[in-house]
Structure 1
Amino acid sequence: MTKHYDLVVIGGGTGGYVSAIRASQLGLSVAIVEKQKLGGTCLHRGCIPTKSLLKSADLIEQIKITNELGITDLEINFDYKKIVARKDKIVDQMYKGIHGLIKKNKIDVFNGHGRMLGPSIFSPISGTVAVEREDGESDVLTNDYVLIATGTTPRELPYLEFDNKIVISSDHILTQETLPESILIIGGGVIGVEFASLLSDLGVNVTIVDVEDRLLKLEDKDASRIIEDTFKKKNVAIHTSTRLVESDFTKNESSMTVELDGKSVEFDQVLVAIGRVPLTDDIGLSNTKIKTDKGYIETSEFYQTAESHIYAIGDCIGKLQLAHVATKEGLIAVEKIAHQTPIELDYRAVPRCVYTNPEIASIGFTEDELKESNTKYKAHKFPLVGVAKAVIENDGVGFVKLLVDEHESILGATIVGAHATELINELSLAKFLDVSMSEMKETIHAHPSVGEGIFEASLDALGMAIHK
């Protein structure tokens, strides 16, 4: 079958399907090509399933301290299969919701592998999309525009390939219905520390290894310190500044023996969490003028590739690999295609969230980045132990840190503590609107609320902190 569309979106993940909906709202005829399921990594193998599991783990962790809350004699028992079943139910509910939205917006979905063709009988320019279906048949989608949103996949170590049994990825661990007794996590970035937090709360013996000198190297040093201290209290073994090589691993029938600090340690599983690689190898880029860098597609500020009618967004372009970033990039690209006037995305105003216990959320620059660029700034840190609601929630663990310039504008910010991933939205809005500390001082925050920490940090920037 051959059919023409104004826009063909290759990839039905968060960025792809949201872009398709916006394009339909703008009057374009739209098709999505998706090899697996609409919703992509975020819905099926990332954001949503991990946060569902983290919710269960957090409740288990809360039960451990019920004596401090005056609740006695509670026993901790859980059925991991039921925890996984709840996760699957949530994912399925959201998946059905996406299908409803796609139908409502009259978007056609083609299930199969999409590849762009070069100039052919179908079109004088490259970009026609051939869809190879599982039944061996194919569809040809001619178009005026293409939007590539193919995402990424977990990166393997060359000497430690995934076998989905002993050596696993973040994709595979979310499909397991049983927990290992012990696990080695290679990688101390966001994915690694989130799973370390989750699994340790569920009673798994966790060891985490990273080549950097601290966990969460790209985040604030003080945030890293709190996470490392928290992990140590949970008996998570941390090995930073540690580079493992092939000879350190001995694969057994049902476990892995690893040489760590001169000792042989046996693990039921090894989770490799060293980043992700773009899914751009087999989508027909060689049939176009599109340029790549290490597999990531190069684009303009409005996500246009070297082929003026082909755009690319999301993880496959190598910017911030976050679902909400892919969504925003897609909206900007589609509005550009529809001859609107979108605002260029400021990546320094994008919230970055780490769903550990406690949570971490940040925007903008870190202190290390500002020092490296010789940017003048002042850091104002307010400990959440001075905020009553934060003490009620989790003993006041954490802080709000604002990095401001001489004009009182936010250069960067970090929140560690209860509800940090919700509170960061306030600072994201403040940065987008360039709210000064003097203006922040005039806002009113509800009492008691953890958000009072943001207010106090802004007062501290003016030398007026009340509870510090």
Structure 2
Amino acid sequence: MSSANSLIVIGGGPAGYVAAIRASQLGIKTRLVEREDLGGICLNWGCIPTKTLLHAGDVLAQLRTANDLGIIVPEGIRADLPRVVQRSREVATRLRQGVQHLLKKHGVEVIKGQARLQGAGTLEVEGKNAQTLQADAILIATGARPRALDSLPVDGDRLWNYRHALTPPAQPDSLLVVGAGAIGMEFASFYAELGSQVTVVETQARVLPVEDEETSQWVARAFEARGIEIHTHTSAHLQTLDAQAAHITLRTENKKEAIRAFDRVLVCAGVVGNSEDLGLETTRVITRHGCIQVHDYGQTDEPGVYAAGDICGAPMLAHKASHEAIRCVEHLAGLTVPQQADHIPSCTYCHPQVASVGLTEARARERGRPISVGRFPFHGNGKALAINRPEGFVKTIFDTQSGELLGAHLVGPDVTELLHGISLAQRLEATEEDLMNHIFAHPTLSEAIGESVLQAYGRAIHI
């Protein structure tokens, strides 16, 4: 294919700015249009600031159990919430400035404004820097925003979305979290650590519904042990608001109802793609449920118009967005690009942490695969006991006949940092034999991975 000599990227998030930098590295003249802040939702209002808050919550939890380690900590330890929030904003600002520097370093022109396509190859930018731009290719990387619910109209006061939860005016006495996906569970975990009375409702059968069922069940029990109230098969509807609380009707699937009062309500009902007001109607780009439909390398049905990241649909993850963007740009440059990996790692940073890649046990069985499943609890791992965090387990799933690693599911201490080893092994097509013969350093949490693999074939040593 012929290479593109010029590119315009719409959106400066993990897909957009990464695409722009890689395009510049490949010698493509690149401009990036962003209407808000560089770094997108992930850096400014998602991944980074939430993990900063959650780290503060983790430190608080460890201090509360420090006496178990023989460390004397004063009673009444608590978080300074305004300072915790301030630090999260400082981290986001520092990284945003880093993105700005990287784009400048790579010669990417950044234009502030709202971009609208005027057919293939042309777009108009509205704002202070109003202008018409043309390029060989246009990459749409406009990301996503919180899904609105008519039954819970967010007002930024009593009813929040994740932006409000990141910058609360004060700690809520009681918090209702609506939606038990990754975002909801992370905020539920953080506010519970601060001392808020947290209730989580989920319309589906279990929390973290996209995860392996054992993972969901384990996390639900761990949350309930921390005093977090969980209701599945339950929806929430605003009844009334007053000066003291939001009064919410909780309705189960069998139509039982109860009206509860909450200081604040956090709506985490998923996200929708930012496909409006882009001028897509002037092109042959097809959208479905707010997301742009693309082919193997981000091509839309309009020649010369591409898309990558959350705007293309689930799973809406920053690392997937960046990976898609790089593949798209390299394809534009005429490089031979490998097919998209089937298995995208997923991490949830609640306490306990959750990490997974590949098929769940249920999905593997649905596909008719003959499977061997291994499990190893962290309470059998020396490092987990040494650091006083023996909660959770590692679960690995293999094709019994071929030895293919089909999936892995981890719950427990720092499992989000352990996952890369498993996902890399899967990418390199490591078999059960390769993993059983691998030497895991001792004492490390990663030894639980090796034991899980051994247990799948009846060879575990420490269980």
TM-score scaled by structure 2?
Answer: 0.95
Q: Tell me, what secondary structure is at the counterpart of 2:299?
A: coil
Alignment match, 2:94: 93
CA distance in 2, matches of 1:69, 1:402: 31
| 1:313 partner amino acid | A
| Separation in 1, partners of 2:441, 2:74 | 33
Kept in 2, the 8 Å contact 1:24–1:107? The answer is: yes
Alignment CA distance shift 1:204-1:229 (3 Å):
same
Question: Partner of 1:55 in structure 2?
Answer: 55
> CA-to-partner distance for each residue in 1:87-143, whole Å, 9 max, x for gaps?
11111111111111011001001101000002xxxxxxx23111101x3x5111100
Counterpart-to-counterpart distance in 2, 1:259 and 1:312: 40
Q: Conserved in 2, the CA contact under 8 Å of 1:210 and 1:242?
A: yes
1:314 aligns with 2:287: no
Q: Mind listing any 5+ residue stretches in structure 2 that lack a counterpart?
A: 251-255
Does the aligned pair in 1 maintain the 2:177–2:198 contact within 8 Å?
A: yes
For residue 217 of structure 2, the aligned residue among 214, 225, 228 is 225
* 1:62 Cα deviation after fit: 1.0
Equivalents in 2 of 1:439, 1:235: separation in Å? 42
Matched-pair contact (CA < 8 Å) for 1:393–1:418: no
**Are the equivalent residues in 1 in contact too, given 2:8–2:33 (CA < 8 A)?**
yes
Q: Which amino acid aligns with 1:252?
A: D
- Amino acid of the structure 1 residue aligned with 2:439: I
Equivalent position amino acid for 2:8 in 1: V
Q: Which residue in the other structure is 1:16 paired with?
A: 16
Deviation of 1:271 after TM superposition, in Å, equals 0.6
1:195 aligned residue: 187
1:438–1:462: 8 Å Cα contact kept in structure 2? no
Code of the aligned partner of 1:230:
A
The residue that corresponds to 2:248 in the other structure is 258
Note the alpha carbon deviations across 1:343-366, whole angstroms, 9 max, x for none: 121232x11001011111000011
* Alpha-carbon distance in 1 for matches of 2:139, 2:258: 50
Corresponding residue SS for 1:23: helix
In the alignment, which residue of structure 2 is the partner of 1:158? 150
CA drift of 1:412 comes to 0.8
Helix, strand or coil: the match of 2:443? coil
In structure 1, C-alpha distance between the alignment counterparts of 2:450 and 2:151, rounded to whole Å: 50
How many residues get paired? 453
Whichever residue aligns with residue 378 of structure 1, its letter is S
The one-letter code of the counterpart of 1:140 is T
Q: Which moved more, 1:388-397 or 1:332-341?
A: 388-397
Structure 1: tracts of 5 or more residues without a match: 119-125
Normalising by structure 1, we get a TM-score of 0.94
Partner of 1:402: 396
Given that 1:298 and 1:317 are in contact with CA atoms closer than 8 Å, whether structure 2 keeps it comes out as: yes
SS of the residue corresponding to residue 306 of structure 1 reads coil
Indicate the residue corresponding to 1:235 in structure 2: 227
Aligned to 2:134: 142
Deviation of residue 73 (structure 1)? 4.4
Distance (whole Å) between structure 1 residues aligned to residue 364 and residue 142 of structure 2? 33
Distance change >3 Å, CA 73–CA 33, structure 1 → 2: closer
Q: What secondary structure sits across from 1:14 in the alignment?
A: coil
For the pair 1:31 / 2:31, whether they are aligned, the reply is yes
Q: How far off is 1:408 after superposition?
A: 1.0
Bigger Cα displacement from structure 2, 260-269 vs 298-307: 260-269
1:74 maps to 74
Q: Is 1:209 matched up with 2:201?
A: yes
CA distance in 2, matches of 1:189, 1:326: 19
Separation (CA, whole Å) in 2 of partners of 1:53 and 1:354: 14
Are 2:374 and 2:457, in contact at CA under 8 Å, matched by a contact in 1? no
Match of 1:172, SS? helix
Summarize the alignment of residues 313-392 of structure 1 with structure 2, pairs less than 5 Å apart.
313-348=308-343, 350-392=344-386
The answer on whether the counterparts of 2:237 and 2:249 sit within 8 Å (CA) in structure 1 is no
Which amino acid in 1 is paired with 2:117? M
Offset at residue 394 of structure 1 (A): 4.0
Over the matched positions of the two proteins, sequence identity in percent amounts to: 39
Which residue does the alignment assign to 2:429?
Answer: 434
Give the 3 Å change call, closer, same or farther, for CA 139–394 of structure 1 in structure 2.
Answer: farther
> How far 1:78 moved relative to its partner?
2.3
Measured in 1, the distance between the counterparts of 2:327 and 2:268 equals 30
Runs (4+) off by over 4 Å: none
Structure 1 counterpart of 2:253: none
